[in-house]
Amino acid sequence: MAFPRPKPTTMETLAMERANPPFNIRKLSIAMHGSEKALVLKEKFMAEIARHPAFKLSDIHDLSKDELRERTMEKFASMVYFVTTESLETFSLRMQLIGIADPSFWTRFGVAYGLFLGALRSGATPNQLSYWIDKGVLGLNGVIGCFAMTELAHGSNVAGLETTATFDRDSDTFVIHTPHLGATKWWIGGAASTATHAAVFAQMIVDGKKYGVKTFVTQLRDTKTFQLLPGVTIGDIGKKMGRDGIDNGYIQFTYVRVPRAHMLMKHTQVSRDGLVTEPPLAQLTYGALLGGRTSMVADSSNSAKKALTVAVRYAAVRRQFSSGKNEIETQLLDYPIHQRRLMPLVAQAVAMGFTGLRLQVMYEQMTQALDTMEPNDPNLNDILDKLKETHATSAGLKAFCTWACLDTIDKCRQSCGGHGYSAYSNFPLMYADFAVQCTWEGDNTILSLQAGRSLVGAWGGAIKGKKLAPGVAYLNDPAILTAKSDSSLSLSDIQRAWQCVAANVIKKAAEEYVSHLKSGKSKDQAMEICSQSRFIAAKVHTVGYIFRLFREAVEEMDDNEETKLLKTVARLYGLWQIEEQQGYFLKYGYFTAQQIDKVQDYVDKLCAEVRGVAIPLIDSFALSDHIINSPLGKWDGSVYESYFAQVQAANPTPKEHPYFNRLIKPLLDRQNEDMEDPGEAMALEEELKELEEERKEAASSKK
């Protein structure tokens, strides 16, 4: 008698998935992290925070808003130690990891160091920066900063901020004032209960003349008593969709005086006599925005990888239904449609990761060039052109990478079925915490239009024969507009496809813009009317840009099994996105309908190919169980055991029911027989019979 084959356990299933991968996981992981040093540091950081009591994550889903904020502040002391003892490069890698583990703390700490200190570094003179460092900015011993830019009625339009800073020559001070409710500083992380000072963005007014938005360091609280200073009103804006560990608040200023020296004067200076000196190169202020956008591309990749680690591991161990004569239920990951749900998203996360690495190098080179550049630099125009192009490219990348990540998190949640809806899967918190990335540091749609505006300008330069920056250099080739596929669907064919379609949609947006100008519209009106075409141009260009940077990174590597896999992943990303946007490729004739069918077939095959190594590939993301914080994605596959244990630990059965006596018992004890029957009380049935008899008698008397 043949006995049915026992179903492998979830742990056995995952072990089988890892058996004999065709590539070296460690080498692949090093490539994804940019260097062995970066990977080793990440592993060190993961071990440190896993043992740190303040970084406990298993109970985070059941903490109140106040408990989350207290936990956030508990982490500050250890991070202050590292920020004052580690190199900037090492500490940046540490914070990148913490951003994946605890976005609330990463944001709150980033407000003090990334935004407040960043404002000082980018806007203060050397002497001003030294002054504030001496005051304790680095060690948070004397100054805990926040970043007061956004207002209740203004966010993306920084130039339209309405808080005022009016120079008073007699006292050598600026008077910071909130003229009406809409000018209230809003969403200010750290303001509600932890910041002592703010970098306040306000319209500078000298002798009645407005000079635009400048930055003023303004003290909010007494550092000894923590009481609000005169004229400063602060409140808590309350519970948010996510990141409740951040004490976001509002600030109103009522004629608050700050010394003139508290205005950051690296670019614009105001003398004791009220003489205003504007910067010769206004474009230099672009540089301050690039760092945040660059980090958000990397964060999009890392957060997507976190979600995918959970979803792919769960799909490997979860079995549903059996196919054919197979007695054992089929792994979700073996269903072609499930491969289609997840494998392209894996490819996209990897592509964004390599883009983030290369963007970071570009950002560092740009920062170095800006720091050393003088107004009479012979390379001035080239540097400024590259700055503008990098600024616009980073805007598009920030928008489309954060959108892609948010979409990935929700698709991963759905792919885990009902269990993905549990808070303990960590998907709900991941989604709620990441959603803000699509609107802060620039609303994504607005940033996309900024990128589109730059592309329209680049097209104008190209048709005039101007040599364009590398990111848009393909526009210098007129032949790219009519390029056709060679049907190879190779990496070079895919890149040419994206350049062809991007050039055409940019050309369309630019021609629309020019036609509106010729019809008498102003430049701003013309740009607004062609917003949709600008948006499409930004989208297509940005996806093509991500593919190009990914391809370049892979083709610069040594030829080995890891590189071979990454080329497959790059091909999957490029072709899947072509399939997603196939209308443009058909419209501009790069592919025929038959070739698009071939693209779909290739995506199917590539998904199956990547599925074969999905678990080792996911392992190369190098994310510990502590960082993932989801039983569904446990490294050893102990999904159900871990899930059940966490639910039990977080929800112990109380000794006494908390509301039985007050609510449930009265309900159960209610006596139905005591409930009065209104019909019986009225003797309604007898009355109705009498009425019926009367009708019958009346009817018979008529006869």
Identity at 489, one-letter amino acid code? L
Between the two ends of the chain, the Cα-to-Cα distance in Å is 90
Is 264 exposed, middle or buried, given 0-12, 13-18 or 19+ CB atoms closer than 10 A? Answer: buried
Query: Do the Cβ atoms of 383 and 369 come closer than 8 Å?
Result: yes
Is 289 exposed, middle or buried, given 0-12, 13-18 or 19+ CB atoms closer than 10 A? Answer: middle
Q: Where is average pLDDT lowest: 104-108, 582-586, 664-668?
A: 104-108
Q: What is the pLDDT of residues 276-327, one digit of tens each?
A: 998 766 555 555 556 677 788 889 999 999 999 999 999 999 888 876 666 7
Q: What is the pLDDT of residues 381-440, one digit of tens each?
A: 777 777 777 777 888 999 999 999 999 999 999 999 999 999 999 999 999 999 988 988
Give pLDDT, residue 680.
78
What is the spatial distance between Cα 210 and Cα 489, in angstroms, rounded to a whole number? 57
> Which residues neighbour 514 within 8 Å (Cβ) at sequence distance 6 or greater?
526
Enumerate helices (H) and strands (E) in the chain, giving the number of each: 25, 11
Instruction: Tell how far CA 642 is from the center of its chain.
Output: 29
Give pLDDT, residue 22.
92
Give pLDDT, residue 378.
73
* DSSP, res 176: E
Q: What is the pLDDT of residues 426-442, one digit of tens each?
A: 999 999 999 988 988 78
Helix (H, G, I), strand (E, B) or coil at 214: strand
Torsion of CA 208, 213, 219, 221, to 10 degrees: 110
The closest of 106, 112, 97 to 148, measured between CA atoms, is 112
Q: What is the pLDDT of residues 210-250, one digit of tens each?
A: 999 999 999 999 999 999 999 999 999 988 888 888 889 99
Query: Do the Cβ atoms of 617 and 562 come closer than 8 Å?
Result: no
What is the spatial distance between Cα 164 and Cα 348, in angstroms, rounded to a whole number? 44
Q: What is the pLDDT of residues 581-601, one digit of tens each?
A: 999 999 999 999 999 999 999
Q: Which residues of 306-333 are buried (b: 16+ CB within 10 A; e: fewer)?
A: bbbbbbbbbbbbbbeeeeeeeeeebbbb
Find tokens 């560990």 and name the residue.
245
Main-chain dihedrals φ then ψ at residue 543, nearest 5 degrees: -60, -45
Q: What is the pLDDT of residues 119-162, one digit of tens each?
A: 898 889 989 999 999 998 887 888 999 999 999 988 767 888 99
Q: Which residues of 154-188 are buried (b: 16+ CB within 10 A; e: fewer)?
A: bbbeeeebbbbbbbeeeeebbbbbbeeeebbbbbb
The full set of domains in the chain, from first to last, is: 15-31+284-668 (1.20.140.10), 141-269 (2.40.110.10)
Radius of gyration over every alpha carbon of the chain, rounded to an integer in angstroms: 31
Give pLDDT, residue 375.
62
What residue ranges in 328-479 does DSSP mark as E strands? none
Tokens standing for residue 518: 């010729």
What is the spatial distance between Cα 405 and Cα 224, in angstroms, rounded to a whole number? 43
Give pLDDT, residue 146.
92
Give pLDDT, residue 442.
80
Instruction: Tell how far CA 636 is from the center of its chain.
Output: 29
What is the spatial distance between Cα 640 and Cα 318, in angstroms, rounded to a whole number? 10
Confidence class for position 1, pLDDT limits 50, 70, 90: very low
Is 703 exposed, middle or buried, given 0-12, 13-18 or 19+ CB atoms closer than 10 A? Answer: exposed
What is the spatial distance between Cα 408 and Cα 341, in angstroms, rounded to a whole number? 10
Query: Do the Cβ atoms of 413 and 304 come closer than 8 Å?
Result: no
Q: What is the pLDDT of residues 454-479, one digit of tens each?
A: 999 999 999 998 888 888 999 999 99
Percent of the chain whose pLDDT exceeds 70: 94
What is the spatial distance between Cα 485 and Cα 493, in angstroms, rounded to a whole number? 6
The catalytic residues are: 441
Q: What is the pLDDT of residues 177-199, one digit of tens each?
A: 999 999 999 999 889 988 999 99
